[in-house]
Every structure is written in structure tokens, then in C-alpha cells.
Amino acid sequence: ASYSYDAHAQQIRFRNYMTVFNESISMDLLLLFQQGVMYEIDYSQLSCQKKVLESSFHPTRVPADAVFMGQVILGTMSVPGLGLLTNSWVGEIPEIQAQYMLTFTEFTCLPVKITLPQHSLTSLCCLWSRSFYNHLLGVQNPQDFVPPFFCPTAAPEEHLPKTSFLKAMRPSQ
């Protein structure tokens, strides 16, 4: 999986390709918050679904109302350079009535992991998480934020399906 993140222009691109029980699954999402649209992209079918993005941009940072949960060292501190100090934070997302847990590095505050319930708190079925590795600072490829040629770019907004950032990121219910 990979992601591109541009806080200044408020745009995110998530790509995830995996095999689960011999079934290939792909997710390619382009979220353009300033334009209020999201594209679900499928390169294997050369198809694209444009949706109205109903949520506002949430910068990748610790929310002001988050509660500090604790520190953990990933790896070891026994050998210099082999440990990563992380901080975990918890809080609530009122729009989906769910609690979250975020983990960021202590130094530079880079995201490591986000965990949310798959369903609302009334159905405590499962948790899902996204982990972030191999960070590269800055926008490496501006084309990541341009819809492919086969994506509709001028559909009437009122006729598009609606979604939010959290709905898009969570697995199908």
C-alpha cells in the first residue's frame, strides 16, 4: 500500500493492492477535499467512480481533543538506532459515534497507525487499522493528485453518490 498526502492543497491518494484467500483486492482512492470529490479508481477495468466528498479535510496530526494514552518503543533501545519511540492517542469521532486510536512517532510526529471500529459502537464486531511506513516528506509526484484520463471530471454534483473520508477508508460493511 502507498499514500500521498498534501496538507496544503488538502488532497490524499491511497493505493492498496493485496491478495486475501487467493482473491486480489485493490483500493485506489483520490480524495480532493477542496473540490469536494473523491474518485474510486480501478485500473484493471479502466473504470472510475466519482463521488461527492461530504467531509472536511482532517490534517494528519494529533487532534486537539485527543487524550494521551502512552508511549511504546517499536524495536529495541538496547542497540542505538534500532528503536522508534511512538506516542498513542485516543479520542472520539462524533460523526460516526466511534472511538479512535492514533499512533505517531515521538520526534517529527509522523503517523504510524490509525485504528477504528469497523462498525459503529453499537456493533462491536471488529477493528480495522491502517499502518504507515516508508514516509517521504513532501509531494513526490504531483500527478498522484490528478484523476486518470478515464475518470469522469464533469458529472453534475447533485447526481453523484455521496461519501465521507471515514466511510471511504473503512472496509465495506
CB atoms within 10 A of CB 8: 6
Whole-angstrom Cα distance, residue 30 to residue 95? 21
pLDDT tens digit sequence for 107-119: 999 999 988 876 5
Q: How many domains does the chain have?
A: 1
pLDDT for residue 153 is more than 80: no
User: What percent of the chain lies above the pLDDT cut of 70?
Assistant: 87
Q: How far apart are CA 17 and CA 25, in angstroms?
A: 6
Structural domain of 11 = 2-169
Residues 8-55 pLDDT 10s: 999 999 998 777 788 887 889 999 999 999 999 998 889 999 999 888
What's the pTM?
A: 0.76
How much is the average pLDDT of 78-95? Answer: 91
Residue 173 pLDDT greater than 50, yes or no: no
Residue 116: give its domain's CATH number. Answer: 2.50.20
Strands 47-53 and 162-163 turn out to be parallel
Mean pLDDT over residues 79-91, rounded? 94
